[in-house]
Amino acid sequence: MDYLAHFEMCALVNMLSEHQKGLYLVVSLIGQAQAVLGDFQKEKRQIFSDLVNALEERFAPSSQTELNRVQFKEFRQKASETLPGLGQSVRRLSNLTALLELCNTLAKEQSIDALVDSEMRLRIKQSRPKGLNNAIRLKVEFEAHNKAESRTMKSLGHL
């Protein structure tokens, strides 16, 4: 898949609701990825974020991008490998590394830019989250702090 097609796919997925994304992901899974569904209760099988987390834990550990980068940098031609074969191997490793980084970056940025609260959006951008999961964690923390602060301010007004 070329970068433009991958970019368009990422943009399309970001327009779907969480439930729609979950359904789309479930019906798209094949082979070993489909077996991950066995770990979920039936009613939780369509929760997109839970599915993504489970798939990432199974197939793309947090060090996967770095592992791909190191493999790419240290890659050497095998004794029996043809030059076209070498080119294909380098292309595959290059695409794996770039696509993982690109999709994670796009998802993280879209997740932040989708926020209605401009103050929260700015605070999260200033925190420079490393990935989508960090951005989501920051959003939840900021929301909890904002709610607690709001309750505190309301209670001070009633004294």
State the greatest distance between any 2 C-alpha atoms of the chain, in Å, as a whole number: 81
3-state secondary structure of 159: coil
Report pLDDT for 136: 87
Beta strands in 3-139 (DSSP E): none
Least confident of 30-39, 80-89, 97-106, 149-158: 97-106
Mean pLDDT is lowest, of 98-107, 121-130, 131-140, for: 98-107
In the prediction, which pLDDT does 126 show? 92
Which of these, 83, 84, 100, 81, lies nearest to 3 by C-alpha position?
100
Domain ranges across the chain: 1-59
| Residue 104 Cα distances to 14, 110, 119, 131, angstroms | 12, 10, 23, 6
The CA–CA distances, whole Å, from 133 to 2, 95, 111, 112, 136 equal: 25, 22, 10, 11, 5
- How buried is 68 (Cβ within 10 angstroms: 0-12 exposed, 13-18 middle, 19+ buried)? buried
The per-residue pLDDT for 158 is: 57
Place of tokens 């001070």: 156
- Span 124-144, mean pLDDT? 88
Q: Provide, rounded to the nearest whole percent, the portion of the chain with pLDDT above 90.
A: 3
- Whole-number pLDDT of residue 97: 66
Mean pLDDT, the chain, rounded, equals 77
- Round to whole Å and give the CA distance between 1 and 47: 26
pLDDT band at 26 (very low <50, low <70, confident <90, very high): confident
94, 97, 101, 106: CA torsion to nearest 10: 50
Distance CA 139, CA 109 (A): 13
Query: Average pLDDT in the 127-138 region?
Result: 86
pLDDT at 10: 59
Question: Token pair 């974020």 is at which residue?
Answer: 49
> pLDDT tens digits for 43-97?
777 777 787 777 777 776 656 666 766 777 777 888 888 888 877 877 777 776 6
Highest mean pLDDT among 1-10, 12-21, 130-139: 130-139
Say what the pLDDT of residue 104 is.
Answer: 75
